């Protein structure tokens, strides 16, 4: 109850405040740790890419968990157990490790630019939330990229950290964020990171295996519920496309959220994309039942929010069943 009540407060704080610019975000600190550790390892162990990558994983995970762990230990000793300060600190960190409102807001900037036909501004906004090259994207491509990002990051930025914190406490959340941030920074299959980032990429695949599949199911359930209020959502088609296209990606986890979202909205996502000046051939996800439109970005955001609520509700139901 202590853990889930703090997590619930964190979810509410995230939707109220998002990512306040006045606060130092833990993920930024983790990112700096990764960057500096990478530079140090490359200088210290030149040519030993693969083993240095394993060392990076161990060092970053240890530091990312040790610092908040020591703070919690000091506070709990001060309170002689888990008291109100520990609860507030856990709720605050939970809020910082979730990214639902930030994802909703940043994708919303793309939608607003498209609604006033400012394509260049839309490109600039979408370039802040996607890894692909955006210079060649037309209006449909910009919209598709934003929807894909919301759908894919529903797992990485919302459901996965939610589940890790619910199961393993706040330190589980820091563990997940360390792994996920490493993957986003060094988990590339290019000349620089093919060996160095292999350990981080594989660990991220492992950590996201169940959350990605749970995310697909939660997005499908969210589409069923929202479909009762808005005909733009189709839960039945979300399930059909999820089952058919959830493996249409080089990553074992990335297509699950995209497939459920594409089916729910009756749009086609993915397909070929440019990365660092090179065209990457990728299969489509979903059917081209209708042209994608800017409003689909908002619809994807609402799906994400509903899936988060369902995920939190599921955690509470499981907790109550165990304690009864």
Euclidean distance between CA atoms 71 and 251, whole angstroms: 36
Euclidean distance between CA atoms 176 and 166, whole angstroms: 12
Three-state DSSP string of 123-174: HHHHHCCCCCCCCCCCHHHHHHHHHHHHHHHHHHHHHHHHHHHHHHCHHHHH
Please tell me the number of Cα atoms within 13 Å of 113 on its side-chain side: 21
At residue 187, the pLDDT reads 87
At residue 279, the pLDDT reads 75
Euclidean distance between CA atoms 60 and 33, whole angstroms: 7
Token pair of 238 as six digits? 């979300």
CB-based contact 149:31 (threshold 8 Å): no
Integer CA distances (angstroms), 63 to 29, 128, 171, 200, 253, in order = 11, 28, 11, 15, 26
pTM given for the model = 0.93
User: Residue 244, exposed/middle/buried by CB under 10 A (0-12, 13-18, 19+)?
Assistant: middle
At residue 324, the pLDDT reads 54
CB-based contact 193:38 (threshold 8 Å): no
pLDDT 10s per residue in the chain (324 long)? 888 999 999 999 999 998 877 677 899 999 999 999 999 999 999 989 999 999 999 999 999 999 999 999 999 889 888 889 999 999 999 999 999 999 999 999 999 999 999 999 999 999 888 877 778 888 999 999 999 999 999 999 999 999 999 999 999 999 999 999 999 999 888 888 889 999 999 999 999 999 999 999 999 999 999 999 999 999 999 999 999 999 988 888 989 999 999 999 999 998 877 777 777 788 899 999 999 999 999 999 999 999 999 999 999 988 777 765
At residue 47, the pLDDT reads 85
Task: Give bridge partners of residue 270 from the DSSP assignment.
Answer: 284
Residue count (the chain): 324
Neighbours of 306 (CB within 10 A): 19
The residues, any chain, with a CB within 8 Å of residue 31's CB and separated by 6 or more, are: 181, 185
* Dihedrals phi, psi of 295, to nearest 5 degrees: -60, -20
At residue 323, the pLDDT reads 64
Euclidean distance between CA atoms 101 and 124, whole angstroms: 20
At residue 262, the pLDDT reads 96
């Amino acid at each position: 109850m202590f853990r889930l009540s703090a997590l619930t407060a964190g979810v509410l704080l995230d939707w109220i405040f998002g990512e306040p610019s006045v606060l130092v975000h833990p993920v930024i600190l983790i990112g700096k740790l990764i960057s500096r550790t990478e530079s140090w390892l490359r200088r210290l162990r030149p040519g030993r890419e693969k083993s240095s990558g394993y060392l990076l994983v161990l060092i970053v995970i240890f530091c990312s968990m040790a610092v908040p762990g020591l703070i919690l230990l000091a506070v709990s000793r001060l309170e002689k157990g888990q008291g109100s300060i520990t609860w507030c600190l856990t709720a605050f960190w939970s809020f910082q490790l979730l990214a639902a409102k930030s994802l909703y807001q940043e994708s919303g900037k793309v939608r607003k630019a498209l609604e006033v036909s400012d394509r260049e501004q839309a490109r600039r906004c979408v370039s802040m939330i996607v890894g692909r090259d955006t210079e060649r994207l037309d209006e449909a491509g910009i919209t598709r990229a934003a929807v894909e990002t919301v759908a894919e990051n529903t797992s990485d930025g919302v459901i996965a950290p939610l589940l890790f914190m619910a199961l393993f406490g706040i330190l589980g959340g820091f563990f997940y964020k360390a792994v996920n941030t490493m993957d986003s920074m060094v988990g590339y299959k290019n000349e620089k990171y093919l060996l160095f980032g292999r350990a981080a990429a594989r660990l991220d695949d492992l950590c996201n295996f169940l959350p990605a599949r749970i995310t697909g199911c939660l997005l499908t359930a969210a589409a069923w519920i929202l479909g009762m209020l808005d005909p733009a959502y189709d839960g039945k088609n979300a399930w059909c496309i999820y089952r058919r296209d959830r493996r249409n990606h080089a990553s074992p986890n990335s297509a699950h959220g995209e497939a459920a979202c594409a089916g729910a909205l009756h749009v086609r996502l993915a397909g070929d994309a440019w990365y660092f000046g090179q065209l990457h051939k990728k299969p489509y996800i979903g059917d081209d039942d209708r042209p994608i439109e800017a409003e689909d970005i908002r619809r994807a955001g609402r799906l994400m929010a509903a899936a988060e609520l369902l995920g939190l509700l599921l955690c509470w139901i499981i907790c109550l069943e165990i304690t009864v």
